[in-house]
């Protein structure tokens, strides 16, 4: 399945492409986890990637962020080829992500968690830090200020000195998004942000995603199992099964696509109202 179906004309084609995956294939040993995967992200889009368990969604994320090196194909971010670059460079270029199972620096304070993500933009070096130069003090204060701004957005500012591991689950999820934002991304990749949340928290999360997207002019790529969340906030969807794209399109079209229903929705119809 090459190219996009026609029905995507609703997208504003004039927006610049920020991330383009072409024919990405990845093998784990002999297992083909992702096969000929294409994806084009345009500036400011909010795109969902869905599919049954083991369809290869997280693998796609890992390929984009350099955790695995794609066996074949190309991943271009603006004009840079990402395949082969180490993760931290990809993140520093402006792609931030969260994790399926929360991975905070759980013995550090909430504030430090955010400040760590800010490290590439710290603006001072080791020598400044050791000698406590003026530059260090200014930049450090600025960094703290910024980090606190993020925490404020996520309503975590009252707990900034708490140990991250001691936060309740929902706050940890939020902190993880805050940490990803502190890396100054242009593309935010959310790996099942609603996992383990109750419906009310999911509503809040949806608002939050909308808000940060507007606020920071982000492009958001989202993997999620909760169909309600995906269907209501994503502009368009890509559906994967067994490492391949089986459908693309607007949420409503995807929902009625027989292939998708067979692969996915049929089994989870209850969730889809």
* Shortest Cβ 158–other proteins spacing (Å): 7
* Shortest Cβ 56–other proteins spacing (Å): 13
User: Rounded to an integer, what distance in angstroms lies between the CA atom of residue 31 and that of residue 20?
Assistant: 24
DSSP string, 4-37: --GGGGGS-TTSPEEEEEEEEEEEETTEEEEEEE
> Which residue, 136 or 248, is less far from other proteins as judged by CB?
136
> Which residue, 196 or 266, is less far from other proteins as judged by CB?
196
Please check whether residue 49 is in contact with residue 221, taking contact to mean a CB–CB distance below 8 angstroms.
yes
> Which residue, 128 or 224, is less far from other proteins as judged by CB?
128
> Which residue, 151 or 227, is less far from other proteins as judged by CB?
151
> Which residue, 47 or 63, is less far from other proteins as judged by CB?
63
47, 51, 239, 245 from 263: Cα distances, Å: 20, 8, 9, 11
* Shortest Cβ 246–other proteins spacing (Å): 24
* Shortest Cβ 3–other proteins spacing (Å): 29
> Which residue, 53 or 101, is less far from other proteins as judged by CB?
101
Please check whether residue 103 is in contact with residue 129, taking contact to mean a CB–CB distance below 8 angstroms.
no
The residues, any chain, with a CB within 8 Å of residue 61's CB and separated by 6 or more, are 97, 189, 191, 221, 223
85 alpha carbon, distance to own chain's centre:
18
Regarding beta strands 46-50 and 219-223, do their DSSP bridges make them parallel or antiparallel, or are they unpaired?
A: parallel
* Shortest Cβ 64–other proteins spacing (Å): 11
SS3 string, 185-242, reads CCEEEEECCCCCCCHHHHHHHHHHHHHHHHHHCCEEEEECCCHHHHHHHCCEEEEEEC
> Which residue, 133 or 272, is less far from other proteins as judged by CB?
133
* Shortest Cβ 176–other proteins spacing (Å): 9
3-state secondary structure of 154: coil
User: Rounded to an integer, what distance in angstroms lies between the CA atom of residue 239 and that of residue 55?
Assistant: 9
* Shortest Cβ 107–other proteins spacing (Å): 6
């Amino acid at each position: 399945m090459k190219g996009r179906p026609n029905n995507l004309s609703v997208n504003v084609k004039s927006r610049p492409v920020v991330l383009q995956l072409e024919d990405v294939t990845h093998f784990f040993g002999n297992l083909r986890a992702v096969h000929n995967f294409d994806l084009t992200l345009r500036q400011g889009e909010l795109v969902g990637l869905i599919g049954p368990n083991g369809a290869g969604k997280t693998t796609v994320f890992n390929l984009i962020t350099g955790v695995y090196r794609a066996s074949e194909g190309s991943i271009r971010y603006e004009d840079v080829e990402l395949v082969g670059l180490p993760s931290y460079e990809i993140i520093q270029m402006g792609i931030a992500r969260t994790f399926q199972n929360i991975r905070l620096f759980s013995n550090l304070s909430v504030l430090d968690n955010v400040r760590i993500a800010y490290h590439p933009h710290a603006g001072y070096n080791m020598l400044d830090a050791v000698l406590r130069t003026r530059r260090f003090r200014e930049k450090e204060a600025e960094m703290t200020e910024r980090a606190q701004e993020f925490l404020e957005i996520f309503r975590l500012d009252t707990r900034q000195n708490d140990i991250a591991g001691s936060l309740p689950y929902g706050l940890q999820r939020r902190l993880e998004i805050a940490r990803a934002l502190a890396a100054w991304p242009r593309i935010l990749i959310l790996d099942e942000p609603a996992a383990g949340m109750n419906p009310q928290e999911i509503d809040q999360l949806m608002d939050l995603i909308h808000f940060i997207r507007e606020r920071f002019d982000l492009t958001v790529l989202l993997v999620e199992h909760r169909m309600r969340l995906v269907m209501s906030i994503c502009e368009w969807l890509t559906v994967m099964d067994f490492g391949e794209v089986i459908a693309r399109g607007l949420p409503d079209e995807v929902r009625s696509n027989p292939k998708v229903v067979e692969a996915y929705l049929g089994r989870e119809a209850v969730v889809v109202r």
